[in-house]
Amino acid sequence: MARPYNFSPGPATLPEPVLAQAAAAEMLDWHDATGRPSGMGVMEMSHRGREFGEIFARTEARLRELLAVPAEFKILFMQGGALAENAIVPLNLSQGGVTDHVITGAWSLRTHQEALRYSEARVVASNVAASSANHTTMPAPASRQLSDDASYVHVCSNETIHGVELHELPDLRSLGSDAPLVIDGSSHIASRAIVDWSRLGLAYAGAQKNIGPAGLTLAFVREDLLGRALRICPVAFNYAVVASHGSMYNTPPTYAIYIAGLVFEWIAAQGGVAAIEQRNIAKAALLYGAIDGSGGFYVDRVAPDCRSRMNVPFFLRDDALGAPFLEAATARGLLQLEGHKSVGGLRASLYNAMPLEGVQALVSCMREFAARHG
Ligand code: PMP
Protein backbone atom coordinates (compact mmCIF):
# COMPACT_ATOMS: atom_id res chain seq x y z
CA MET A 1 0.00 0.00 0.00
CA ALA A 2 1.24 3.51 -0.77
CA ARG A 3 2.45 5.55 2.21
CA PRO A 4 0.26 8.47 3.33
CA TYR A 5 1.29 12.00 2.37
CA ASN A 6 2.89 13.79 5.30
CA PHE A 7 2.54 17.60 5.41
CA SER A 8 4.45 18.09 8.68
CA PRO A 9 6.41 21.35 9.09
CA GLY A 10 9.37 19.37 10.42
CA PRO A 11 10.69 16.89 11.15
CA ALA A 12 9.12 16.22 7.79
CA THR A 13 8.55 13.77 5.01
CA LEU A 14 11.66 12.23 3.43
CA PRO A 15 12.01 10.75 -0.07
CA GLU A 16 10.80 7.16 0.07
CA PRO A 17 13.83 5.78 -1.86
CA VAL A 18 16.10 7.33 0.79
CA LEU A 19 14.23 5.58 3.61
CA ALA A 20 14.21 2.32 1.69
CA GLN A 21 17.95 2.44 1.03
CA ALA A 22 18.82 3.38 4.61
CA ALA A 23 16.44 1.02 6.38
CA ALA A 24 16.14 -1.94 4.07
CA ALA A 25 19.43 -2.07 2.23
CA GLU A 26 22.03 -0.52 4.55
CA MET A 27 20.81 -0.48 8.16
CA LEU A 28 22.80 -3.56 9.16
CA ASP A 29 25.65 -3.43 6.67
CA TRP A 30 26.70 -0.30 4.80
CA HIS A 31 28.40 -0.83 1.43
CA ASP A 32 30.97 1.56 0.01
CA ALA A 33 30.87 3.07 -3.49
CA THR A 34 32.41 -0.08 -5.00
CA GLY A 35 29.77 -2.27 -3.34
CA ARG A 36 32.18 -3.64 -0.71
CA PRO A 37 30.33 -4.45 2.54
CA SER A 38 31.62 -2.78 5.69
CA GLY A 39 30.09 -5.23 8.15
CA MET A 40 28.51 -2.41 10.16
CA GLY A 41 25.61 -0.01 10.08
CA VAL A 42 26.37 3.72 9.80
CA MET A 43 25.29 4.33 13.42
CA GLU A 44 28.00 1.94 14.54
CA MET A 45 30.90 3.52 12.66
CA SER A 46 33.61 5.68 14.19
CA HIS A 47 33.35 9.19 12.80
CA ARG A 48 37.11 9.04 12.24
CA GLY A 49 37.12 5.75 10.35
CA ARG A 50 37.59 5.24 6.60
CA GLU A 51 33.96 4.30 5.99
CA PHE A 52 32.38 7.33 7.59
CA GLY A 53 35.11 9.50 6.08
CA GLU A 54 33.92 8.38 2.66
CA ILE A 55 30.27 9.12 3.52
CA PHE A 56 31.15 12.55 4.88
CA ALA A 57 33.34 13.58 1.94
CA ARG A 58 30.71 12.53 -0.59
CA THR A 59 27.93 14.29 1.33
CA GLU A 60 29.81 17.56 1.59
CA ALA A 61 30.91 17.51 -2.05
CA ARG A 62 27.35 16.82 -3.27
CA LEU A 63 25.94 19.63 -1.15
CA ARG A 64 28.55 22.09 -2.39
CA GLU A 65 27.75 21.10 -5.96
CA LEU A 66 23.94 21.17 -5.57
CA LEU A 67 23.86 24.64 -4.01
CA ALA A 68 26.88 25.95 -5.98
CA VAL A 69 28.55 26.96 -2.72
CA PRO A 70 31.63 29.06 -3.52
CA ALA A 71 35.07 27.97 -2.26
CA GLU A 72 35.29 30.90 0.18
CA PHE A 73 32.40 29.44 2.20
CA LYS A 74 33.10 26.68 4.71
CA ILE A 75 30.29 24.18 5.17
CA LEU A 76 29.98 23.17 8.83
CA PHE A 77 28.02 20.13 10.00
CA MET A 78 26.91 21.03 13.51
CA GLN A 79 24.42 20.10 16.24
CA GLY A 80 21.96 22.13 18.29
CA GLY A 81 19.41 23.09 15.66
CA ALA A 82 18.61 26.56 14.39
CA LEU A 83 17.74 27.77 17.89
CA ALA A 84 21.27 27.00 19.06
CA GLU A 85 22.54 28.99 16.06
CA ASN A 86 20.60 31.94 17.44
CA ALA A 87 23.21 31.96 20.22
CA ILE A 88 26.13 30.57 18.21
CA VAL A 89 25.92 33.34 15.59
CA PRO A 90 26.23 36.30 18.00
CA LEU A 91 28.84 34.39 20.03
CA ASN A 92 30.89 34.06 16.83
CA LEU A 93 30.19 37.27 14.97
CA SER A 94 28.86 40.06 17.18
CA GLN A 95 32.01 40.81 19.22
CA GLY A 96 29.52 42.05 21.80
CA GLY A 97 28.54 45.01 19.63
CA VAL A 98 25.51 45.92 17.56
CA THR A 99 23.51 43.35 15.58
CA ASP A 100 20.61 44.27 13.28
CA HIS A 101 17.46 42.15 13.05
CA VAL A 102 14.56 42.04 10.62
CA ILE A 103 11.45 40.65 12.31
CA THR A 104 9.16 38.71 10.00
CA GLY A 105 7.59 36.08 12.24
CA ALA A 106 8.01 33.79 15.22
CA TRP A 107 11.47 32.49 14.32
CA SER A 108 13.17 35.82 13.65
CA LEU A 109 11.59 37.14 16.87
CA ARG A 110 13.28 34.37 18.80
CA THR A 111 16.56 35.06 17.01
CA HIS A 112 16.40 38.67 18.15
CA GLN A 113 15.54 37.72 21.73
CA GLU A 114 18.50 35.35 21.94
CA ALA A 115 20.89 37.84 20.35
CA LEU A 116 19.99 40.35 23.08
CA ARG A 117 21.87 38.09 25.51
CA TYR A 118 25.16 38.55 23.67
CA SER A 119 24.92 41.77 21.68
CA GLU A 120 23.14 45.07 21.35
CA ALA A 121 20.45 43.57 19.15
CA ARG A 122 18.32 46.13 17.33
CA VAL A 123 15.12 45.67 15.33
CA VAL A 124 15.65 47.46 12.02
CA ALA A 125 12.44 46.40 10.26
CA SER A 126 9.38 44.42 11.18
CA ASN A 127 6.17 43.09 9.73
CA VAL A 128 4.33 43.21 13.04
CA ALA A 129 1.01 44.84 12.23
CA ALA A 130 -1.34 46.67 14.53
CA SER A 131 -4.21 44.59 13.18
CA SER A 132 -4.65 40.84 13.46
CA ALA A 133 -2.77 40.51 10.15
CA ASN A 134 0.55 39.94 11.93
CA HIS A 135 3.50 38.64 9.93
CA THR A 136 1.64 38.46 6.62
CA THR A 137 4.05 40.54 4.51
CA MET A 138 7.80 41.04 4.19
CA PRO A 139 9.06 44.51 5.13
CA ALA A 140 10.26 46.35 2.01
CA PRO A 141 14.09 46.54 1.84
CA ALA A 142 14.00 50.33 1.72
CA SER A 143 12.13 50.43 5.03
CA ARG A 144 15.14 49.03 6.84
CA GLN A 145 17.06 51.50 8.97
CA LEU A 146 20.37 49.66 9.15
CA SER A 147 22.89 50.54 11.84
CA ASP A 148 26.26 51.97 10.73
CA ASP A 149 28.14 49.76 13.15
CA ALA A 150 26.28 46.44 12.96
CA SER A 151 28.46 43.33 12.97
CA TYR A 152 25.75 41.60 10.91
CA VAL A 153 22.15 41.84 9.74
CA HIS A 154 19.93 38.84 10.48
CA VAL A 155 16.97 37.80 8.33
CA CYS A 156 14.85 34.63 8.41
CA SER A 157 14.29 33.95 4.73
CA ASN A 158 11.30 31.65 5.23
CA GLU A 159 9.10 31.90 8.31
CA THR A 160 7.85 28.37 8.82
CA ILE A 161 4.96 29.26 11.12
CA HIS A 162 3.63 32.34 9.34
CA GLY A 163 4.32 31.22 5.77
CA VAL A 164 6.09 34.33 4.50
CA GLU A 165 9.15 33.86 2.28
CA LEU A 166 11.81 36.16 0.91
CA HIS A 167 11.98 35.38 -2.80
CA GLU A 168 15.22 37.32 -3.19
CA LEU A 169 17.97 37.93 -0.67
CA PRO A 170 18.39 41.60 0.26
CA ASP A 171 21.40 43.38 -1.20
CA LEU A 172 22.75 45.17 1.87
CA ARG A 173 25.36 47.06 -0.16
CA SER A 174 22.64 48.79 -2.13
CA LEU A 175 21.15 49.83 1.23
CA GLY A 176 24.46 51.42 2.21
CA SER A 177 25.65 48.68 4.58
CA ASP A 178 28.88 46.65 4.56
CA ALA A 179 27.63 44.35 7.30
CA PRO A 180 27.46 40.64 6.46
CA LEU A 181 23.98 39.24 5.87
CA VAL A 182 23.07 36.27 8.10
CA ILE A 183 20.20 34.07 7.01
CA ASP A 184 18.13 31.47 8.84
CA GLY A 185 17.17 29.35 5.84
CA SER A 186 15.99 26.32 7.84
CA SER A 187 12.67 25.82 6.13
CA HIS A 188 13.55 26.48 2.48
CA ILE A 189 17.17 25.47 2.05
CA ALA A 190 17.72 23.53 -1.21
CA SER A 191 14.23 24.39 -2.45
CA ARG A 192 15.34 26.99 -5.01
CA ALA A 193 18.21 27.00 -7.48
CA ILE A 194 19.69 30.43 -7.13
CA VAL A 195 21.31 31.40 -3.87
CA ASP A 196 23.07 34.72 -4.31
CA TRP A 197 26.15 33.90 -2.27
CA SER A 198 27.69 37.28 -3.06
CA ARG A 199 25.07 38.85 -0.78
CA LEU A 200 25.68 36.43 2.10
CA GLY A 201 28.08 36.22 5.01
CA LEU A 202 26.52 33.26 6.76
CA ALA A 203 23.54 30.98 6.30
CA TYR A 204 22.37 28.26 8.63
CA ALA A 205 19.61 25.68 8.53
CA GLY A 206 18.32 22.86 10.67
CA ALA A 207 18.21 19.70 8.57
CA GLN A 208 14.81 18.37 9.55
CA LYS A 209 12.76 19.90 6.72
CA ASN A 210 14.48 19.63 3.35
CA ILE A 211 17.73 17.88 4.24
CA GLY A 212 17.22 14.91 6.54
CA PRO A 213 16.56 14.01 10.17
CA ALA A 214 16.70 16.35 13.16
CA GLY A 215 20.03 16.62 14.93
CA LEU A 216 22.08 18.10 12.10
CA THR A 217 22.49 21.82 11.50
CA LEU A 218 24.28 23.15 8.45
CA ALA A 219 26.20 26.41 8.63
CA PHE A 220 27.73 28.04 5.56
CA VAL A 221 30.29 30.55 6.80
CA ARG A 222 32.33 32.97 4.67
CA GLU A 223 35.97 32.42 5.58
CA ASP A 224 36.77 36.01 6.47
CA LEU A 225 34.16 35.86 9.27
CA LEU A 226 36.01 33.08 11.11
CA GLY A 227 38.09 33.92 14.17
CA ARG A 228 35.91 36.64 15.72
CA ALA A 229 34.32 34.55 18.49
CA LEU A 230 33.81 35.89 21.99
CA ARG A 231 35.88 34.25 24.76
CA ILE A 232 32.69 32.82 26.26
CA CYS A 233 31.79 30.98 23.03
CA PRO A 234 31.77 27.22 23.74
CA VAL A 235 34.69 25.76 21.86
CA ALA A 236 32.51 23.11 20.18
CA PHE A 237 30.42 25.98 18.74
CA ASN A 238 33.33 28.15 17.65
CA TYR A 239 33.05 28.28 13.84
CA ALA A 240 36.83 28.64 13.38
CA VAL A 241 37.45 25.53 15.48
CA VAL A 242 34.70 23.52 13.78
CA ALA A 243 35.98 24.61 10.35
CA SER A 244 39.64 23.84 11.06
CA HIS A 245 38.66 20.33 12.22
CA GLY A 246 36.49 19.61 9.17
CA SER A 247 33.36 19.46 11.41
CA MET A 248 35.04 16.72 13.49
CA TYR A 249 36.25 18.70 16.51
CA ASN A 250 33.71 16.64 18.41
CA THR A 251 31.49 13.84 17.16
CA PRO A 252 29.15 15.14 14.46
CA PRO A 253 25.63 13.68 14.06
CA THR A 254 26.87 10.86 11.88
CA TYR A 255 23.60 9.13 11.03
CA ALA A 256 21.85 12.39 10.17
CA ILE A 257 24.78 13.30 7.91
CA TYR A 258 24.49 9.93 6.17
CA ILE A 259 20.75 10.41 5.54
CA ALA A 260 21.41 13.97 4.32
CA GLY A 261 23.90 12.50 1.87
CA LEU A 262 21.25 10.13 0.52
CA VAL A 263 18.82 13.04 0.21
CA PHE A 264 21.44 14.99 -1.78
CA GLU A 265 21.88 12.02 -4.11
CA TRP A 266 18.10 11.90 -4.50
CA ILE A 267 17.97 15.63 -5.35
CA ALA A 268 20.72 15.13 -7.95
CA ALA A 269 18.77 12.20 -9.44
CA GLN A 270 15.68 14.43 -9.72
CA GLY A 271 17.66 16.79 -11.95
CA GLY A 272 19.18 18.97 -9.22
CA VAL A 273 17.78 21.89 -7.29
CA ALA A 274 16.59 23.69 -10.45
CA ALA A 275 14.28 20.79 -11.31
CA ILE A 276 13.13 20.52 -7.70
CA GLU A 277 12.36 24.25 -7.69
CA GLN A 278 10.11 23.89 -10.74
CA ARG A 279 8.19 21.17 -8.93
CA ASN A 280 7.97 23.32 -5.82
CA ILE A 281 6.56 26.20 -7.87
CA ALA A 282 3.93 23.91 -9.40
CA LYS A 283 2.96 22.42 -6.02
CA ALA A 284 2.58 25.83 -4.36
CA ALA A 285 0.60 27.22 -7.32
CA LEU A 286 -1.80 24.29 -7.13
CA LEU A 287 -2.50 24.70 -3.42
CA TYR A 288 -2.72 28.52 -3.42
CA GLY A 289 -4.96 28.28 -6.49
CA ALA A 290 -7.31 25.94 -4.65
CA ILE A 291 -7.47 28.28 -1.64
CA ASP A 292 -8.02 31.40 -3.76
CA GLY A 293 -10.56 29.61 -5.95
CA SER A 294 -12.65 28.36 -3.02
CA GLY A 295 -14.95 31.40 -2.91
CA GLY A 296 -13.76 32.22 0.61
CA PHE A 297 -14.34 28.75 2.07
CA TYR A 298 -10.55 28.59 2.61
CA VAL A 299 -8.67 31.77 3.47
CA ASP A 300 -4.99 32.67 3.09
CA ARG A 301 -3.91 35.83 4.95
CA VAL A 302 -0.42 36.24 3.51
CA ALA A 303 0.20 38.93 0.89
CA PRO A 304 0.46 37.07 -2.46
CA ASP A 305 4.00 38.23 -3.30
CA CYS A 306 5.27 37.05 0.12
CA ARG A 307 3.66 33.63 0.12
CA SER A 308 5.96 30.78 1.00
CA ARG A 309 6.34 27.88 -1.42
CA MET A 310 7.22 25.62 1.49
CA ASN A 311 4.74 26.38 4.28
CA VAL A 312 1.14 27.30 3.54
CA PRO A 313 -0.88 28.33 6.60
CA PHE A 314 -4.55 28.72 5.77
CA PHE A 315 -7.90 28.89 7.50
CA LEU A 316 -11.45 27.70 7.11
CA ARG A 317 -14.05 30.45 6.91
CA ASP A 318 -15.83 28.59 9.68
CA ASP A 319 -13.25 27.74 12.33
CA ALA A 320 -15.51 25.03 13.75
CA LEU A 321 -14.88 22.96 10.61
CA GLY A 322 -11.18 22.60 11.44
CA ALA A 323 -11.49 19.35 13.40
CA PRO A 324 -13.79 17.65 10.83
CA PHE A 325 -11.44 18.74 8.05
CA LEU A 326 -8.44 17.21 9.78
CA GLU A 327 -10.42 14.03 10.35
CA ALA A 328 -11.43 13.84 6.68
CA ALA A 329 -7.85 14.50 5.57
CA THR A 330 -6.37 11.88 7.89
CA ALA A 331 -8.90 9.32 6.65
CA ARG A 332 -7.56 9.96 3.13
CA GLY A 333 -3.94 9.53 4.16
CA LEU A 334 -3.15 13.25 4.37
CA LEU A 335 -1.28 13.69 7.64
CA GLN A 336 -0.12 16.47 9.99
CA LEU A 337 -2.10 19.37 8.54
CA GLU A 338 -2.82 21.15 11.86
CA GLY A 339 -1.84 24.81 11.96
CA HIS A 340 0.77 25.94 14.48
CA LYS A 341 -0.82 26.45 17.89
CA SER A 342 0.05 30.18 17.91
CA VAL A 343 -1.72 30.77 14.58
CA GLY A 344 -4.47 28.14 14.47
CA GLY A 345 -6.18 26.92 11.31
CA LEU A 346 -4.37 24.55 8.97
CA ARG A 347 -0.88 24.40 7.52
CA ALA A 348 0.47 22.33 4.66
CA SER A 349 4.24 22.08 4.34
CA LEU A 350 5.33 21.26 0.80
CA TYR A 351 9.01 20.46 1.19
CA ASN A 352 11.11 18.97 -1.60
CA ALA A 353 10.14 15.39 -0.75
CA MET A 354 6.39 16.08 -1.06
CA PRO A 355 5.39 14.85 -4.53
CA LEU A 356 2.97 16.78 -6.73
CA GLU A 357 0.56 13.85 -6.30
CA GLY A 358 0.40 14.61 -2.57
CA VAL A 359 -0.71 18.16 -3.24
CA GLN A 360 -3.20 16.94 -5.84
CA ALA A 361 -4.68 14.61 -3.23
CA LEU A 362 -4.87 17.45 -0.70
CA VAL A 363 -6.57 19.78 -3.17
CA SER A 364 -9.15 17.19 -4.13
CA CYS A 365 -9.86 16.52 -0.43
CA MET A 366 -10.30 20.29 0.11
CA ARG A 367 -12.71 20.58 -2.84
CA GLU A 368 -14.83 17.65 -1.69
CA PHE A 369 -14.92 18.94 1.86
CA ALA A 370 -15.97 22.41 0.69
CA ALA A 371 -18.71 20.90 -1.51
CA ARG A 372 -20.05 18.98 1.48
CA HIS A 373 -19.85 21.81 4.02
CA GLY A 374 -19.97 25.01 1.91
N1 PMP B 1 14.09 28.69 12.42
C2 PMP B 1 13.15 28.25 11.57
C3 PMP B 1 12.87 29.04 10.32
C4 PMP B 1 12.44 27.09 11.86
O5 PMP B 1 11.51 26.65 11.02
C6 PMP B 1 12.74 26.36 13.04
C7 PMP B 1 12.05 25.05 13.39
N8 PMP B 1 10.80 24.87 12.93
C9 PMP B 1 13.71 26.87 13.88
C10 PMP B 1 14.37 28.03 13.56
C11 PMP B 1 14.08 26.14 15.15
O12 PMP B 1 14.79 25.02 14.79
P13 PMP B 1 15.28 23.93 15.83
O14 PMP B 1 14.07 23.38 16.50
O15 PMP B 1 15.99 22.95 14.95
O16 PMP B 1 16.20 24.59 16.79
Query: Does the CB atom of residue 160 touch ligand 1 within 6 A?
Result: yes
Mean pLDDT for the stretch of residues 8-17: 98
Q: Any catalytic annotation for residue 292? A: no
CA of 103 to the centre of ligand 1 (A): 15
Residue 86 burial (CB count, 10 A): 24
Q: Any catalytic annotation for residue 197? A: no
Q: Which of 74, 100, 107, 300 is catalytic?
A: 107
Rounded CA separation 305/365 (Å): 26
- Is the predicted pLDDT of residue 132 greater than 90, yes or no? no
Query: Does the CB atom of residue 107 touch ligand 1 within 6 A?
Result: yes
Query: Does the CB atom of residue 94 touch ligand 1 within 6 A?
Result: no
Three-class SS state of 136: coil
Closest ligand 1 atom number to CA of residue 84: 16
Q: Whose CA is nearest to atom 12 of ligand 1?
A: 82
What are 232-284's pLDDT values in tens digits?
999 999 999 999 999 999 999 999 999 999 999 999 999 999 999 999 999 99
CATH topology of domain 22-268: Aspartate Aminotransferase; domain 2 (3.40.640)
Based on its alpha-carbon atoms, the radius of gyration of the chain, rounded to whole angstroms, reads 21
Q: Whose CA is nearest to atom 9 of ligand 1?
A: 82
CA of 15 to the centre of ligand 1 (A): 21
Domain residues of the chain, as ranges? 22-268, 272-373
Residue 83 burial (CB count, 10 A): 16
Q: Any catalytic annotation for residue 184? A: yes
> What pLDDT is attached to residue 134?
79
What are 149-198's pLDDT values in tens digits?
999 999 999 999 999 999 999 999 998 899 999 999 999 999 999 889 99
* Backbone phi and psi for residue 318, each to the nearest 5 degrees, phi listed first: -105, 105
What is the sign of the dihedral through the CA atoms of 44, 190, 103 and 180?
Answer: positive
pTM score: 0.97
- Is the predicted pLDDT of residue 141 greater than 80, yes or no? no
Q: What is the CATH number of domain 272-373?
A: 3.90.1150.10
